[in-house]
Amino acid sequence: MKSSEQLFGLRELRQWSGNAPIQLAVLGDPVAHSASPPMHNAALSACGFSQRYGRLHILPEELSEAVPLLGRAGFVGVNLTIPHKVAVLPMVDVLDPSAQLLGAVNTIAIRDQRLFGFNTDGPGLVRAIAADFGVRLGELRVLILGAGGGAGRAIALQCALEGCPRIVLVNRTLEKVEPLAGEVRGVHPSGQPESEVYALGSSDVSLGEHVAVTDLILQCSSLGMHADDPSPLSVDFLQRSHLVYDTIYSNRSRLITAADAIGARTANGLSLLLHQGALAFEIWFGRPAPVEIMGAALLEARSTQAS
């Protein structure tokens, strides 16, 4: 087994001192399912780089010890996934303005032992929506499911930055998205009016009415990572005219299955993974990422896993 295909953890990170078998990684809990390693390793090989990209399984209670060890271990950078994107904020030395605004970090670059935090989720989604649906995100009325999480927050603020005319934030716990709604209302492109912004609990009786005037449904919660997870939105609300994007890519969620069944256009988080990963690559190496090669590697990895 290649070293980049192994699953490492805090124990190994403690032992490495400039001699780690990987120099880039996705760091999360869970992380064994991540398709980032084959995507990034294909890019590294295509560009003639010797670095390898792997997986670091770090528990929430281990994060504060693990992050400072990355520089000593010789890492170039890491990607952060569930549940570390918000918790890592105070652990980086320098926050990029986008990460500061979006309130989450999904990419760390390590330069001279200093940690620089970035967020490529929002910009990556802009590229993914354009690639999958052939439309600019800023033209769409959006409804975000699971807006209370780190990815949901970043995506909500990015939608405001893009000038989406209507943004509906939906979360199981309303109290988690009401403050976010206030922040989103204050973010908009220069010279353009503020977006219409609404915050709803997932059981709000008006949810169906909001879905009816939505162009793009963005599913950002963790529901769908397991095959028996319920849909985060009643499938009765779905219309054929909807664009439905589920950030989960490890399984075909019930939301995507139901939307496909009625003829709605759908896409999953594989394209977001691709484009946010390409942006991370550009941050680490200061050169354009080989997006087509990365996309082909992603598709091959998902096909192999499914077989």
User: From first to last of its 307 residues, what are the pLDDT tens digits of the chain?
Assistant: 455 568 999 999 999 988 889 999 999 999 998 889 999 999 999 999 999 999 999 999 999 999 999 999 999 999 998 889 989 999 999 999 989 988 889 999 999 999 999 999 899 999 999 999 999 999 999 999 999 877 788 899 999 999 999 999 999 999 999 999 999 998 877 777 888 999 999 999 999 999 999 999 999 987 767 777 888 899 999 999 999 999 988 778 999 999 999 999 999 999 999 999 999 999 999 999 999 999 999 999 877 765 4
Query: Looking at the chain, which residues constitute the CATH 3.40.50.720 domain(s)?
Result: 122-268
pTM of the model: 0.89
Statement: 122-268 belongs to CATH 3.30.530.20: no
- Active site positions, annotated: 85
Residue 251: the pLDDT is 77
In total, the chain counts a number of residues equal to: 307
Residue 18: the pLDDT is 81
The domain 3-119+271-306 is classified under which CATH number: 3.30.70.360, 3.40.50.10860, 3.40.30.10, 3.40.50.720? Answer: 3.40.50.10860
Residue 112: the pLDDT is 92
Residue 5: the pLDDT is 65
Residue 307: the pLDDT is 43
Q: Which of 49, 52, 45, 59 is nearest to 10 (CA)?
A: 59
Query: Looking at the chain, which residues constitute the CATH 3.40.50.10860 domain(s)?
Result: 3-119+271-306
